[in-house]
Structure 1
């Protein structure tokens, strides 16, 4: 509890220093990139390791500063996830990808070869980061930056096998176990599992990393480096080989030098310049807080979702140590066509489908609240090309329309709720966007670090996240990407996380929930498929029922 209080107090101190430039001079988000031990020339390497050597320049570009044993402090936004980390609430995010083997590949040999090449791949920051004091992570967190040779690849890159022929049930059981296990806080906070034994000459890759290191969009950006649009590209590029740098050209300013664009401004000048911006930001955040309070006391629109003013539901409460995972994927065009026909966004369709599925599950259990459940939806605040910031998003709250039976009416309500939330966020200055989410995110964090999580009302009932991916068909070492499902984390108060990611012409859903509290998670995933079909029928899109092949698209 003491650590949680110090963490909340530090938000004010770090915010003051960051605004007025009175604290320590800024430095690269990842500190110094790790050093690299001398390597043998490519011709002397085993052919399997040659690809990794070729990509070493990507992990450690020429001219990059290197120092072994460097230390870097965690940002306050990242430390939130370290503070929430417990045995019952591990705060890693993950993705589960399935691939079809190249036509002439032997399954066991191909996976073994991939494992060997992945273990030989270089490791770059932040995947070389290890907590300096795991026990003090909530209030005095700092990273030791390891030399990549000190990262035990046999621990971080593993191989698993399903009883052949493995189907969706077997894959989900294994991934549920893997996702339930916290990362080892005494090592760099990531793991990769190659999973063989899937039916129809397929394999899967499960990768998890702590949320303190990467958010969903950051993981997708690195994933683009790993995948290729060329089916003949046999290269193995590990996403942990992508280095985050401070963006400076070789030979540029050292960490601790002048701020970019800061010129020769003195701390006093920066403080005076910051006061005006701070006042405008504070005023805008104050208006947003007042609107939240007014909405809670006297809602002027049933579509307005107000943080913490939520109905009690079985999707809220304390969580145990075990997770349940389910996945589905669809032709992305189905969501796009439905959105176009209804005059809404794809994200609106996703929220409405999730709301309909959740309504059905809770109604069958006799626990459907009269008022609509709400979803916390992350909105990225990441600047274009930013691969350096670990977490860059603001939270908004939107209605799921679980109190509306008709799928089309529900979609209209969800779209109106989404519009209200986006309008309020869009009216704020850029600097205030993070504060808008902090108005209800920080009280929620406080609930958990002070031991009140699961006993008090959270700001929303569930989390629904949507991360855009590449629309083109992608390949990994010649294997066609079939689906890639993002998997989130849950904590006390919010037992369900639904994440979506578009890739290779599909929209992929990943459902993560508390295993004991939400035994209906598989039904929820199935009902989402049904709800999409009902919405298409309501929009008269000529889909009286789902085609059997699509209904069975559960990645098996």
Structure 2
């Protein structure tokens, strides 16, 4: 998660950054914990200096791409080099203009990182963060609505769950036998090397326009984003002389957390999510804003039924069952599944952050914009992450620069498509 100062603001100081980190460590136990040999979280004594990295002289970034010095720091986390595994896997990289919170996915999911970042940026405790999340939680939970509103809690949702579970259990073996053919954005042969990974930040885009487009089409915000993202990726693939990709396979993490002021501790930084593998685009879906019997042709939109709670729970159940196998087998299953996926997509809801950084030591406030990056793992070579921040939407792209031969072209096509939303 990156907090970037707006141009007219004074620089961050090391004292301000350190004060924010100290408060976050005190508020969030996961930052003081490591995984023990038996797989349980264990609190350890923390050396804060191990987790703070100050980069004083950062050169000019090229266009929308992150500065190489920052990227090198992100690829060489000292905590990862601790052979004893007694150092929590996170760090804060700070420059005079940016503050980057960098954490291993074993410690937090997308909601967990947002909760910690709320403390880093605004000094909010867990209950205050949960209170800020509640007004927007209903919108972010729409993707988990039932496949059929009349079937909530009935056999219909149960059948959806069973089918989703069976499909996700089968995915690793499908990836082993019938991997997705090589394309300009994906390959089933190997993983990305850290030295080749590149980071791009796009936006801001109008979140209001995107929500309006979703409402008019009777789909979710993520469906609108996926439609335009895949259109941009399709343009890039065709520009590289590749055949048209009729269907994109997309890996999408879904969080089960819901803010509750009575039980704010359930939002604490940990992992509580499943990963759906969806097919985009789909030929047609029912338009929720029109006659229920009518079908409209909306190519590229994900059917709202695919975001249902039953599908998410089915994926979670499949992953839970497969994770009981020996770790060596689990690693191989994850690798085989990644051979099916063209790219990963996620959406971090940062609406609770607000547009300011507040130093807990001095009370100083600075205007910032906030965005996050995903991480490449297994055979995944492209990760697109959307971040809402107030009424803006930022999009971050992490890619394997060795596979993606013309990264600026890919970023340009995606940017053009996102600018068309609501136009």
TM-score (normalised: structure 1): 0.55
State the secondary structure of the residue aligned to 1:413: coil
Q: Which residue of 2 aligns with 1:397?
A: 277
Contact 2:165 2:317 in 1 (8 A): no
Q: Which residue of 1 aligns with 2:142?
A: none
In 2, the alpha carbon distance for the partners of 1:359 and 1:441 equals 34
Deviation for aligned residue 1:350? 0.8
Match runs of 1:245-260 below 5 Å: none
Deviation for aligned residue 1:214? 0.6
Q: 1:382 to 1:293 in 2, by over 3 A?
A: closer
In 2, the alpha carbon distance for the partners of 1:480 and 1:176 equals 23
Residue of structure 2 aligned with 1:130, choices 26, 31, 34: 34
In 2, the alpha carbon distance for the partners of 1:288 and 1:164 equals 48
In 1, the alpha carbon distance for the partners of 2:222 and 2:354 equals 22
In 2, the alpha carbon distance for the partners of 1:292 and 1:130 equals 30
Deviation for aligned residue 1:450? 3.5
Match runs of 1:503-514 below 5 Å: 503-514=389-400
State the secondary structure of the residue aligned to 2:226: helix
The CA RMSD over aligned residues, in Å, is: 4.1
In 1, the alpha carbon distance for the partners of 2:227 and 2:121 equals 31
State the secondary structure of the residue aligned to 1:453: helix
Residue of structure 2 aligned with 1:481, choices 368, 371, 375: 368
Deviation for aligned residue 1:216? 0.6
Cα distance per residue 1:85-115 (max 9 Å; x no partner)? xxxxxxxxxx122123775x4x3xx423323
Determine whether 1:97 maps to 2:15. no
In 2, the alpha carbon distance for the partners of 1:458 and 1:517 equals 15
Deviation for aligned residue 1:514? 2.1
Match runs of 1:236-315 below 5 Å: 237=123, 285-289=161-165, 311-314=180-183, 315=186
In 2, the alpha carbon distance for the partners of 1:500 and 1:382 equals 18
Deviation for aligned residue 1:439? 7.6
- Based on CA coordinates, which of the two structures has the bigger radius of gyration? 1
Deviation for aligned residue 1:440? 8.5
Q: Which residue of 2 aligns with 1:316?
A: 187
Unpaired segments of 5 or more residues in structure 1?
1-94, 134-139, 197-202, 229-236, 244-279, 296-305, 405-409, 542-556
Deviation for aligned residue 1:177? 2.2
Q: Which residue of 1 aligns with 2:410?
A: 524
In 1, the alpha carbon distance for the partners of 2:98 and 2:269 equals 28
Residue of structure 2 aligned with 1:115, choices 5, 13, 17: 17
Q: How many residues align?
A: 358
Q: Which residue of 1 aligns with 2:135?
A: none
Contact 1:475 1:481 in 2 (8 A): yes
Contact 2:65 2:201 in 1 (8 A): no
In 2, the alpha carbon distance for the partners of 1:216 and 1:448 equals 22
Contact 2:274 2:319 in 1 (8 A): yes
Residue of structure 1 aligned with 2:90, choices 166, 190, 197: 190
Q: Which residue of 1 aligns with 2:348?
A: 467
TM-score (normalised: structure 2): 0.71
Cα distance per residue 1:358-399 (max 9 Å; x no partner)? 112211222345431221112211133422361112222323
Deviation for aligned residue 1:281? 11
Match runs of 1:48-447 below 5 Å: 95-100=1-6, 105=10, 107=11, 110-118=12-20, 120-121=22-23, 123-124=25-26, 125-133=29-37, 140-146=38-44, 150-163=45-58, 168=63, 171-181=66-76, 183-184=79-80, 185-196=85-96, 203-228=97-122, 237=123, 285-289=161-165, 311-314=180-183, 315-317=186-188, 318-319=190-191, 320-322=193-195, 323-329=197-203, 330-385=205-260, 386-388=266-268, 390-401=270-281, 412-415=298-301, 417-422=302-307, 425-427=308-310, 432=314, 434-436=316-318
Deviation for aligned residue 1:488? 1.3
Match runs of 1:29-48 below 5 Å: none
Q: 1:348 to 1:101 in 2, by over 3 A?
A: same
